[in-house]
Amino acid sequence: MTLGAVAIQIVVFGNQVKEFSADAAIVLGAAAWGKNPSPVYRERINEAISLYKLGRVHSIIFTGGTREPGYPSEAEVGRQFSARHGVPLTAMLVDIESRNTWQNLERAKLLMASAGIHSVLLVSDPLHMRRVMTMAADLDIQAQPAPTPSSRFRSWETWSKFLWRETWLYLDYLALRHF
């Protein structure tokens, strides 16, 4: 399969919208800028809040550590943002240790087990969804995709850079199981 064909597969997969329900949503970490989510992370958080308010999930799992000591973790930023937007703290779990997509899922699986959560919707950017779903399947997580309906990658340049990055990361994961 050519690189272009894999990229097209990633785009098509990420743009399939189905309205699944599950026990919880897992929000894959992205950058936190101090106490605020980056624009990319905010889109993911907003999607999880929407899923919760629509009753499609009963809880939200936020993942992501911090890049620098003394700063809040991505997960903590996500939880605080969601609390300000009406999600009760009792409906949220956080993983503050993970540093990449594999660790996000691995640590979320531990939180799922401890909370009796059996099924999840994975919330991330559409272009990230193919790799995330493959990793979740490898971890035996019962998951369905919940791509954000919009992306902060609005210009052709930023979108195409993210697509090629995801294409390479997906192929690297398939071939070498690099995380």
Yes or no: say if 73 and 63 are a contact pair by the CB < 8 Å rule.
no
What does each of the 179 residues of the chain score in pLDDT, given as a tens digit? Answer: 688 899 999 999 998 878 999 999 999 999 999 999 999 999 999 999 999 999 999 999 999 999 888 889 999 999 999 999 999 999 999 999 999 999 999 999 999 999 999 999 999 999 999 999 999 999 999 999 999 987 666 678 888 888 999 999 999 999 988 66
CA dihedral 158, 166, 39, 45 (to 10 degrees): 150
The answer to whether 24 and 57 are in contact (CB under 8 A) is yes
- Strand, helix or coil at 96? coil
- Residue 27: φ, ψ to 5°: -95, 115
Instruction: Write down the domain spans for the chain.
Output: 3-176
Which phi and psi angles does 121 have, rounded to 5°? -105, 130
Q: How far apart are CA 90 and CA 149, in angstroms?
A: 26
Q: What's the CATH code, domain 3-176?
A: 3.40.50.620
